[in-house]
Amino acid sequence: MKYGETLLRVRYAETDQMGVVYHANYLNWMEVGRTEFFRQLGMPYSEIEKNELFLPVTKVYCHYKAPARYDDLIRISTTISSLQDVRLIFKYEIYRANTNELLASGETEHAFVNSKGKPVVLKKYNPFLWRRMQDVTGEKAE
């Protein structure tokens, strides 16, 4: 597996009566992608929150191209497409792992806020995370 990639199995709970994965669950998968992205970056998101930094989702976009099905092995590729003082944008590509078929692509925008929900400037608030994210911005899992 490449940097910024993670795998998961489709759960029965994630299907709906159309016989495919219910569309909202792809947002949960993007969050799984972010969690593994931060771990690979050297700062698990659980640590980020312990340091009083939170990254609530402010916008989400997803384009569904082909349906995922129960028990499919899913590969999620997560990259930072934009990093600014008070926000960042993640980009995701979601594949059926065994066929390499692109099932969906999407983006999430996040604010940097403290435990009271106030925006913070990441460069000052958490310089380590800022530097690590700068290093990988625009980098594509290869």
Give me the residues that bind a second copy (CB under 8 A), please: 9, 11-13, 15-20, 22-25, 27-28, 31-32, 35, 44-46, 54, 56-64, 67, 69-71
* Pick 17 or 142: Cβ nearer a second copy: 17
Are the CB atoms for 64 and 26 separated by under 8 Å? Answer: yes
Cβ closest to a second copy, residue 22 vs residue 128: 22
Q: How far is residue 113's CA from residue 42's CA, in Å, rounded to a whole number?
A: 20
Whole-number minimum distance, CB 130 to a second copy, in Å? 21
Residue 71 is among the residues annotated as catalytic for this protein: no
118 Cβ contact partners less than 8 Å away, ≥ 6 residues apart: none
What residues contact residue 71 under an 8 Å CB cut-off, 6+ apart? 9, 10
Place of tokens 């800022």: 130
**Cβ closer to a second copy: 28 or 134?**
28
The H-or-E segment that residue 39 falls in is: helix 25-41
Query: What residues are annotated to the active site?
Result: 16
